[in-house]
Amino acid sequence: MVFSRIALGTLALAAGLALAPHARAADACQLEISGNDQMQFDKHELSVPATCKEVTLTLHHTGKLPKEAMGHDWVLMSTSDLGAVAQSGLSAGASKDYLEPGDKRVIAHTKVVGGGESTSVTFSTASMKPGGDYSYECTFPGHSALMKGKFKFG
Ligand code: CU1
């Protein structure tokens, strides 16, 4: 009786260990971030393991202001491109979601959303180097000084 209880416990533990890495791997490639009416992201760092071939990021705008006044997007790039991408986005304007169309420096981006809206982007990490220096920012005019953070890959 004692033996079989231990055996069952061991089996359950083994099953749990076998399933856990899969569950963790799937969750680890899903990211969420929020922007508010105070021009802030709720996270200043995001990270995914280099085992993620695809990453899905969901951006929530938790404020109330419309996107014309307080729009937010999430744009991923090499840290060294932060200023230049925002500058090009400013020139591109609202109709292009403050991103230069086809900007090769942009690894991934969401559209611009306003208060109460959410949006997601799923992107491949094939062009990214594990341990590389990546950052994200909001390219809405004037926001990138505050709304940015580090993106750790690997
Ligand atoms: Cu923003």
Instruction: Evaluate whether residue 116 is within a structural domain.
Output: yes
Give the angle subtended at the CA of 69 by the CAs of 65 and 75, to the nearest 5°.
Answer: 95
Instruction: Evaluate whether residue 11 is within a structural domain.
Output: no
Instruction: Evaluate whether residue 6 is within a structural domain.
Output: no
Domain residue limits at 67: 29-153
- For residues 98 and 136, the answer to whether their CB atoms sit within 8 Å is no
Query: How far, in Å, from the CA of 5 to the mean position of ligand 1?
Result: 56
pLDDT tens-digit series, residues 30-45 = 999 999 999 999 999 9
pLDDT tens-digit series, residues 96-153 = 999 999 999 999 999 999 999 999 999 999 999 999 999 999 999 999 999 999 999 9
Among 67, 57, 3, which Cα is nearest to 28's?
57
Instruction: Evaluate whether residue 13 is within a structural domain.
Output: no
Query: How far, in Å, from the CA of 77 to the mean position of ligand 1?
Result: 16
**pTM tops 0.85, yes or no:** no
Query: How far, in Å, from the CA of 69 to the mean position of ligand 1?
Result: 10
- What total of structural domains would you count in the chain? 1
Instruction: Evaluate whether residue 10 is within a structural domain.
Output: no
Query: How far, in Å, from the CA of 6 to the mean position of ligand 1?
Result: 55
Query: How far, in Å, from the CA of 82 to the mean position of ligand 1?
Result: 14
Query: How far, in Å, from the CA of 75 to the mean position of ligand 1?
Result: 10
| CATH code assigned at 127 | 2.60.40.420
Query: How far, in Å, from the CA of 72 to the mean position of ligand 1?
Result: 3
Instruction: Evaluate whether residue 134 is within a structural domain.
Output: yes
Instruction: Evaluate whether residue 87 is within a structural domain.
Output: yes
What is the DSSP annotation of 35-66? E-TTS-BS-SEEEE-TT-SEEEEEEEE-S-S-
